[in-house]
Structure 1
């Protein structure tokens, strides 16, 4: 299995596209910290993005996309001297799905948000930098803009199952952004996500995700990656921050937690599916990792 696919499936990613924004002249719009993670695409013109907690503003030009992975306020502006206006009233006053600010029409952007299940922060978002930037010249940008065009058309024309199509296309956009980031800026990524960019560690990750219930050893994973046991162990810990079998334990617990949330399978059945020989072995690993027993977790499942 593909680890990125596995994690996105587990965290239940959904997305939607919100109103467009048009602007001109000297302008600045201040946005509150988003719920979920925010994305935007510049369709026309240029502007700057300043995110709370980031040292420098990011210049954006036509074709650029960005993803905000933290709950931080941010400002889009054309002129550093412009006094920011709050985004809320601007978007409440939108007409025809377009919010307008400033004087003129030389800038346009469209955006939305991705929402995830409860484990997304730990499993995915903490591994990413606060801002993921995809330049318009990147190979993935063309697919992103195609997807945005399709979502916009689906929602404007209210076709059958438009909401479902829009959600799937939004997920395509998220995957494209993550692909670009891993290929172009992996140094700002941490944890298992950083491992996907390492040719040795990625092999071990794919093996563990493909067969999580298999009784893996470091030696067996090293053979799959065509390196020595010590090389794999050292490289995995350096890149991912955990030993290979520690990662495997945590992933098995995540799979078990997912089944506890979504199914009524017995603990014995779940233990078998995720690679533990007994219910008690799963319970020990689960409590050590989450701080809760499987039964307590199930009683209070979201």
Structure 2
């Protein structure tokens, strides 16, 4: 499994396709703060997107989509001068109403949804993304447009298995959007996500992710990237923002936190699997990184999971 897939799996990514918005005339809709990542795709017409704190609104046209990763309130509008209505006033009155119509509809159509991420580790991805990721329409983006169109069909014509189909399509939209975002970002961007666009850095990161328990050294990681040790160390720090060994430790702690939360493995078993010679050495590294002992972390997280109720998303709860 490649590094991006592993990170998304670690984040326990869940996607929800909430519904569509069909509008006409002048309109503006205000959305509140949110968790995770919201996404919208424009299938007809165009709209302006304004994120709280951003210097200017961005126009999104037919065939384009955007992600909102900062959690800040935002506004969608045909005209930024139009008086906004709160999204809560537009919510469907019945659960099976998937596409909300405003002012008669027919001029603008979008579908939207959101992705939830595992508590405590969401920053692993969110910190790499700007508040607004705009994916513009180009000829080579047929895959993204196909996914969005299929989601529209699932919303318009309910069939058995529709929820899981829409969820998988939404995940494809996120991955494809991240790929396009990486391909368009300047090379000087720093972070593990942007390092994946560098073939040699990706080889080293993929190797660490594939075998986190191996006794990696700077030399063996440099060999994965087909570079000298000195050049690799400098390049890795420039692109990722961490030294290779610091990144390896961070990844190991993320995996450890996940296993402490979602498995019955003992602390010693987890430490050994992640390359630590003893439970003591693993516990010391974990406490240094997470400000908490492994046992305490596991107890707290499992207690939180046991006490939480898993909600079921209704299709009409968000536009």
TM-score of the superposition, structure 1-length normalised?
Answer: 0.93
Aligned length: 301
**1:50 match: secondary structure:** strand
For residues 193 and 247 of structure 2, the distance between their equivalents in structure 1, rounded to whole angstroms, comes to 12
Once the two structures are overlaid, the 10-residue window that deviates more, 250-259 or 98-107, is 98-107
* Equivalent residue, structure 1, for 2:64: 64
Report Cα offsets for 1:224-250 as digits up to 9, x if no partner.
Answer: 212221111111111111100000011
Structure 2 gap segments, 5+ residues each: 306-319
* Equivalent residue, structure 2, for 1:133: 134
Aligned-residue offset at 1:255: 0.8
Aligned-residue offset at 1:40: 0.4
Distance 1:189 1:114, change over 3 A: farther
Higher helix share: 1
Structure 1 gap segments, 5+ residues each: none
Query: What's the C-alpha RMSD, in Å, of the aligned pairs?
Result: 2.0
Report Cα offsets for 1:237-288 as digits up to 9, x if no partner.
Answer: 1111110000001111111111111111111211121111111111011000
* Equivalent residue, structure 2, for 1:118: 119
Q: Check whether the contact 2:213–2:273 (CA below 8 A) recurs between aligned residues.
A: yes
For residues 273 and 250 of structure 2, the distance between their equivalents in structure 1, rounded to whole angstroms, comes to 15
TM-score of the superposition, structure 2-length normalised?
Answer: 0.88
Q: Check whether the contact 1:128–1:189 (CA below 8 A) recurs between aligned residues.
A: no
* Equivalent residue, structure 2, for 1:251: 251
Once the two structures are overlaid, the 10-residue window that deviates more, 117-126 or 288-297, is 117-126
Aligned-residue offset at 1:45: 0.6
Distance 1:188 1:66, change over 3 A: farther
For residues 287 and 115 of structure 1, the distance between their equivalents in structure 2, rounded to whole angstroms, comes to 27
For residues 188 and 115 of structure 1, the distance between their equivalents in structure 2, rounded to whole angstroms, comes to 29
